[in-house]
């Protein structure tokens, strides 16, 4: 339990669930971001109580809640719903931390290797998210994701040229050290080509809207091949649909390679992609493969962050190393 945070029972009372109605509260695995999760069961239903990470803002939380609410109202009922507190808001704030209460999504998360029906259903859900939209209005502009990735690439390129890469000599996790070294070495080999790719997008304009930004298979629920739920919009960003397509395509990739034909076809059956959006998705993916590892270098080596679930960290690092092992074969290098 997080220090100084109120007891879940107290928070649930604020969500108008008195102790007399609660049958059980079970601690669940939280995310790498520092969130904490409980499954709450009553005689009528089950809920997901979530303590958001420190510094998570009210505006960011409400944006995610609003996006889910609007899409559920338009018919995308596979999205988790958020319950109101006694204040009328869909969150409770206590001791500078935010809590939310979601409907519990029944079903099982898909397992590796992901089947074709599961992959198709997840891509369909992404397309639905971008089809069932109400507010805020769309705009056409340069992709914010390209801008942030360009800045990160420039930052680490400068560190490289100034010989300021962090030393791994005293890094206290020898089983993660090979991955960290691979992240740095791969960036040295490819950062010039990556900068060229990102620069090619700096004047391109795309249709921008709410994006899930980090759709992971563990955030989907299935009953056999039927999608029953999608939850966790906490990473939501304002960008082009290509951001979501690229992230999910990487997550469900096998043997380090993305099946772009499958991904684009699955999405386009509900939300047609333009050739420029397909190109953007591939550029996002190459940038993510080469730059996400540097975020891990920052967190693990420079900031010396500690994560409660080391197995989850190992899984993320393993996925990245598998993708980096095939980065020379990435489709993006053949784009003209």
Same structural domain, 85 and 166: no
> Residue 4 has what pLDDT?
56
pLDDT the model gives residue 1: 42
Quickly state the pLDDT bin for 170 (edges 50, 70, 90): confident
Are 74 and 172 in a shared domain?
no
Q: Are residues 288 and 220 in the same domain?
A: yes
Residue 232: inside a domain: yes
Q: How far is residue 326's CA from residue 23's CA, in Å, rounded to a whole number? A: 49
Mean pLDDT of 224-248: 96
At residue 6, the pLDDT reads 72
Same structural domain, 86 and 180: no
For residue 210, the SS3 value is strand
> What b-and-e string marks burial along 151-169, b requiring 16 or more CB atoms within 10 Å of the CB?
ebbeebbebeeeeebeebe
- The reply to whether 224 and 250 lie within a common domain is yes
Pairing of strands 206-211, 139-141: antiparallel
Contacting residues for 185 by C-beta, under 8 A, at least 6 apart: none
Would you state the pLDDT for residue 34?
Answer: 85
Closest CA to 211 of 183, 190, 189, 241: 241
Answer for the pair 144, 198: CB distance below 8 angstroms, yes or no: no
Q: How far apart are the first and last CA of the chain?
A: 52
Q: Which domain holds residue 33?
A: 8-103
Would you say residue 134 has pLDDT above 90? no
- 38 φ, ψ to 5°? -135, 145
- Determine the pLDDT at residue 139: 85
Q: Does residue 128 share a domain with residue 65?
A: no
pLDDT at 82 over 60: yes
Q: What is the pLDDT of residues 90-101, one digit of tens each?
A: 999 998 899 999
Per-state percent for the chain, helix, strand, coil, to nearest 5: 45, 15, 35
Looking at the fold, whether 135 and 245 belong to one and the same domain comes out as yes
Whether 120 and 99 share a structural domain: no
Do 88 and 143 lie in a common domain? Answer: no
197 and 155, same structural domain? yes
The answer on 182 and 311 residing in a single domain is: yes
Interval 13-57: pLDDT, tens: 999 999 999 999 999 987 788 899 999 999 999 999 999 999 999
Q: What is the pLDDT of residue 135?
A: 59
Of residues 169 and 285, more confidence is placed in 285
CATH number of the domain that residue 297 is part of: 3.90.1200.10
Could you tell me what percent of the chain has a pLDDT over 70? 97
- How much is the pLDDT for 31? 77
Say if residue 87 is in the same domain as residue 217.
no
Q: Please state the rounded mean pLDDT for residues 288-308.
A: 95
The dihedral through the CA atoms of 181, 186, 192, 197 has a sign that is negative
Residue 200 scores a pLDDT above 60: yes
CATH of the domain at 70: 3.30.200.20
Mean pLDDT over 166-192 rounds to 94
Q: Which residues contact 331 (CB under 8 A, 6 or more apart)?
A: 258, 260, 282
pLDDT, position 2: 46
The number of folded domains in the chain is 2
Q: Tell whether 110 is covered by a domain.
A: no
Rounded to the nearest integer, the mean pLDDT of the chain is: 94
């Amino acid at each position: 339990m997080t220090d100084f945070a109120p007891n879940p029972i107290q928070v649930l009372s604020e969500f108008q669930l008195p102790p007399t109605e609660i049958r059980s509260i079970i601690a669940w695995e939280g995310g790498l971001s520092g969130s904490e999760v409980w499954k709450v069961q009553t005689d009528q239903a089950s809920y997901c109580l979530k303590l958001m990470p420190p510094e998570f803002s009210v505006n960011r939380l409400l944006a995610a809640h609003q996006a889910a609410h609007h899409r559920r109202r338009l018919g995308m009922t596979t999205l988790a719903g958020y319950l109101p507190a006694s204040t009328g808001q869909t969150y409770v704030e206590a001791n500078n931390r935010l809590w939310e209460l979601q409907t519990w999504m029944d079903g099982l998360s898909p397992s590796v290797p992901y089947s074709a029906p599961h992959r198709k259903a997840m891509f369909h859900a992404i397309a639905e998210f971008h089809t069932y939209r109400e507010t805020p209005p769309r705009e056409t502009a340069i992709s914010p994701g390209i801008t942030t990735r360009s800045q990160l690439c420039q930052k680490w390129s400068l560190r490289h040229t100034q010989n300021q890469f962090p030393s791994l000599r005293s890094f206290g996790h020898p089983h993660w050290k090979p991955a960290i070294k691979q992240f740095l070495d791969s960036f040295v080999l490819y950062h010039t080509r990556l900068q060229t790719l990102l620069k090619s997008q700096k004047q391109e304009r795309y249709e921008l809207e709410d994006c899930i930004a980090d759709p992971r298979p563990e955030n989907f629920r299935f009953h056999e091949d039927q999608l029953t739920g999608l939850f966790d919009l906490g990473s939501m960003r304002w960008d082009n649909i290509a951001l979501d397509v690229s992230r999910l395509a990487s997550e469900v990739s096998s043997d380090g390679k993305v099946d772009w034909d499958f991904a684009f076809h699955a999405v386009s059956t509900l939300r047609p992609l333009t050739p420029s959006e397909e190109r953007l998705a591939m550029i996002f993916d190459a940038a993510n493969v080469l730059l996400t590892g540097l975020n891990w270098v920052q967190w693990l080596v420079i900031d010396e962050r500690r994560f409660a679930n080391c197995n989850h960290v190992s899984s993320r690092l393993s996925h990245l190393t598998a993708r980096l092992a095939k980065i020379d074969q990435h489709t993006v290098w053949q784009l003209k």
